[in-house]
Amino acid sequence: MRSTFPADGSLNAELRAADVNDVNEAVEAAERAWRDPQWRGLVPHQRAAVLYRVSDLINQQLETLAQLQTRDNGKPLAETRGLVASAAATARYFAAACEVLEGELPTQRNSEVMTLSQYQPLGVIAAITPWNSPIASEMQKVAPALAAGNAVILKPAEATPLMALKLAELFEQAGLPAGLLSVLPGKGSVIGEALARHPLVKKISFTGGTGTGRHLAHIAAEKLIPTSLELGGKSPTIVLEDADLEQAARGICYGIFSSAGQACIAGSRLFVHRSLYQPLLTRLCELAGGLRLGDPRQPGVHMGPLINDKHRQSVAAYVALARQEGGRVLIGGEAPADPQLADGSYYLPTIIDGLSNDARVCQEEIFGPVLVRCRSTMSSSWSPWPTIRSTAWPPASGAAISRAPWRWRSSWRPAPSGSTPTRHSRFPRRSAALSRAAWDGKKGCTASRPICNRKACIWR
């Protein structure tokens, strides 16, 4: 298999793709490793020490790792530096959570009996990650699993294997015993499938497309094992009539055009109060037209390429569909004409107007730099939820923009997640059960519980 630079198609590396035999070998080694007293006998703060060392190693190599991730998936360095720093912080967070992982001592119901609940590792965890934020999403799966005492088989996206391999190297340098973390690059339909079905795999943690997530959930249900799924989203931004227009426009552009729109939380649908409709769209087009596309390694570049040409064709097909459905492309809607960008998979920032919320491009995840302004009869008393929840991909996040706190509170009160976002904030909600694939949204001393078995011990 080949890893290429999305900005110009040049070769990053040639690798041998894993096969089913590699899956069996890695899982069997992982099963032996997590049961080995060398690992299983460690108390939590000793496991935490490995994660602290990994965090330090990442911070020491931050610029090198950011450059590697930019080569891997084409994000600008300003973004990849943040993702690398996030990975270091995640390792440190779960190291601290590991140190305070607690059991429970329920209230006694019999004076002669005492019951203690302990949390023990599940065993071998299959972690399957996407290509849009490699090192950050990989650490979000690996760190809590290892903190809880498990072993991890990491299957990176076929398009971006380099960061996962480097991460495994850093864990080895930090002293993680052999077998506890293996990386298997290759096709998801081969490696992911074999991992999910392997009888020794006791949990599946997946971030990626909703269709694949649904398939893995069926496999897990057949095996009666838990899953953590972080899937697609179709996220709205709602601009109320009292919003600061400039702040709203800049926030909307950041929400959809950062990462070239390749994020499940990208604000891809826009609902605007009719009093701000025309001036806001005018300003959005000005800002989108001023974004600089180019080599993501260069300073001042706002948007890099899409992951590959196949994905660019998918985004272009959605824009063509929008035109067929009656949408007006206000800006973008094509690959850039600049000959210096011809070898990369670039696509211009695109804004589409004139479609109702039931159009396919408003219902399906595009995963690219395409913003659709949805027609609505939005008034001061309008509640967004009946409209924005009516999509095949539920909102992965959302933003309500208003000057008055009571306005955004009332706008978002019906949120099924039970949480209310702060002004301009995004609240996590995936289209499947868990908010971050490995830790179930829990914090503090409960953070690693979803990747543990709860065991009751009774004394008489």
Catalytic residues: 230
Q: Which two tokens stand for residue 210?
A: 């909703």
Tokens 């260069």 appear where?
A: 298
Helices (H), 290-359: 309-324
Strands 399-401 and 236-239: parallel
As a dihedral over the C-alpha atoms of residue 422, residue 426, residue 429, residue 434, rounded to 10 degrees, the angle is -100
Q: Give the other-Cβ count within 10 Å of 343's Cβ.
A: 14
Single-letter residue type at 76: P
Q: Tell me the C-alpha distance between 213 and 215, whole Å.
A: 5
Q: Whose structure tokens read 């590697």? A: 68
Q: Where are the alpha helices (DSSP H) in 258-308?
A: 277-289
Q: How many residues does the chain have?
A: 460
Element (H, E) at 120: strand 114-121
**Unique residue bearing structure tokens 């491009």:** 361
Q: Which residues make Cβ contacts (< 8 Å) with residue 343, sequence separation at least 6?
A: 7, 8, 9
SS3 category, 97: helix
CA distance 240 to 98: 43
Q: What Rg, from alpha-carbon coordinates, does the chain have?
A: 23
Report which of 172, 174, 190 is spatially closest to residue 182, judged by C-alpha positions.
172
CA-to-CA distance for 354 and 329, rounded, in angstroms? Answer: 9
CA 382, 385, 389: angle at the middle one, nearest 5? 145
Instruction: Indicate the pairing of strand 181-183 with strand 151-155.
Output: parallel
CA–CA gap between residue 276 and residue 437 (Å, rounded): 38
CA distances from 96 to 353, 429, 443, 453 (A): 48, 25, 11, 20
CA 93 from centre of chain: 18
Tell me whether residue 225 is exposed, middle or buried, using C-beta atoms within 10 angstroms of its C-beta: 0 to 12, 13 to 18, 19 or more: middle
* Nearby residues of 436 by Cβ (< 8 Å), 6 or more positions away: 140, 228, 230, 428
Q: How far, in whole angstroms, is CA 415 from its chain's centroid?
A: 21
